[in-house]
Amino acid sequence: MTKRVTLKNIADTLNISMMTVSRALNNNPNVDETTRKMVLTKARELGYFPNHIAKSLVVAKTQTIGVVVPEITHSFFPDAIKGIEEIVYQAGYNIMLTHSAENTNREIAAIETLASRRVDGILASVAESDTEYQIYRQVIDMGLHVVFFDRCVYNIGASCVSIDDEESAFKITEHIIRHGYKKIAHLRGPLSVSIAKERLNGFRRALRKYKISYSDKLIVESGFHEEGGFAAMQRLLGLPKKERPRAVVAVNDPAAFGAMKAIKEAGLRIPEDIAIVGFSDDIRAELMPAPLTTVRQPAYEVGKAAARKLIAHIENKKESVENLTIRTELVIRKSCGCEIPSNGKSQNSEVKT
């Protein structure tokens, strides 16, 4: 921040009061048109930029939204941020972006700085490692508006926008079941993260509905990344032949990619020996040797909806806290054993294997 021209500078050179200058610049109707023109001209001439900091201090509003993401480079987040930016820009807000790097302490520090910077609200997606949410309670109690997106914390007085994880996992598992597979494994994420838990629930519900028995041995933790998926799949492949899964439902696409690598390295074919499906429709999914059947998450829409909800909370005291859900779409490709339907998006292919 360097020395700048102020309202007072303009007022002095024009021999009028600061207030008149302020009013002229803010399109206040109670200003003579001649004076307004004069002020506008002089302001431009002097290179005046309003000091938004000073204004924020007076009006106790910063027009700023704090955003907390766990990992900017996860394909989901750039799209979500773009959606957020689109909405807040139109509403006259700006984004303060923070990155927790999946680290709880950094996330807490981020929330604290955002609170100190008096953002009008926070859009947050929590880190994998989070186990307690005291800091969110604290800022929410202070009256700061929080809306979670994608990875939510529930029952804490904040709205949440996410995809219907449980239902989506149910649907893709159901799709797999309809292929006739009986031994189906699940690579699950860390259960401290809401989406991991819900996808697991959806997986289980589908098995129950179709009365497929399963042992807990077929549910292994992979985390959200390729390496974890690879390791988890290796463990499954290390099972006695009879217990090995015929199909795998992965918690997300990266985990599925890792698993596919492990399957390949074991000399097995996808989907002939082992079918697999992912979750998220990563940009790489359709380019895999066996293009990956997966769930498309509308990240951009999630970002937009979350931003809209947050702004509603900010601008309307009585906006109700609620959990919003954004529809996903099943993307059918070869990895599940389907013939690819013409548009690759049919939801009802039933292929026996």
Q: Which does 346 bind (CB under 5 to 8 A by kind): a second copy, DNA, none?
A: none
Options 60, 142, 283, 287; binder of DNA; rule CB under 7 A: 60
Interacting span for a second copy (CB under 8 A) from 9-17, 110-118, 146-154, 181-189:
110-118
Residue with structure tokens 């070869």?
334
315 binds a second copy (CB under 8 A): no
Residues numbered 114-133 forming contacts with a second copy, rule: CB under 8 A: 115-120
288 binds a second copy (CB under 8 A): yes
Strand intervals (E) in 258-320: 275-277, 294-296
CB nearer to a second copy: pick between 67 and 336: 67
59 binds DNA (CB under 7 A): yes
Interacting span for a second copy (CB under 8 A) from 50-58, 162-170, 175-183, 333-341:
50-58
Interatomic CA distance for residues 325 and 328, integer angstroms:
9
Interacting span for DNA (CB under 7 A) from 10-18, 222-230, 240-248, 320-328:
10-18
CB 298 within 8 A of CB 281: no
Least Cβ distance, residue 139 to DNA (angstroms) = 15
Residue with structure tokens 């949410």?
133
Which residue, among 233, 309, 310, has the nearest Cα to 273 in the 3D structure? 233
50 binds DNA (CB under 7 A): yes
Interatomic CA distance for residues 264 and 248, integer angstroms:
14
Options 12, 13, 19, 112; binder of DNA; rule CB under 7 A: 19
**Both tokens assigned to 285:** 């999914």
Interatomic CA distance for residues 181 and 250, integer angstroms:
15
Least Cβ distance, residue 13 to DNA (angstroms) = 13
Cis peptide before 271 (omega within 30 of 0): yes
82 binds a second copy (CB under 8 A): yes
Helix intervals (H) in the chain: 7-14, 18-25, 33-46, 52-59, 76-90, 104-116, 134-141, 165-178, 194-209, 226-237, 253-265, 299-315
Q: Coil, helix or strand for 187? A: strand
Q: Which does 7 bind (CB under 5 to 8 A by kind): DNA, a second copy, none?
A: DNA
**Both tokens assigned to 82:** 């773009």
**Both tokens assigned to 259:** 């698993």
Sequence-ordered list of residues with C-beta below 8 angstroms from that of 133, at least 6 positions apart, any chain:
126, 153, 156
Options 85, 107, 150, 198; binder of a second copy; rule CB under 8 A: 85
312 binds DNA (CB under 7 A): no
Least Cβ distance, residue 87 to a second copy (angstroms) = 12
Using CB under 8 A, list all residues that contact a second copy: 1-4, 47, 49-54, 56-57, 60-62, 64, 67, 72-73, 77-79, 81-82, 85-86, 89, 94-99, 106, 112-113, 115-120, 138, 141-144, 283-284, 287-288
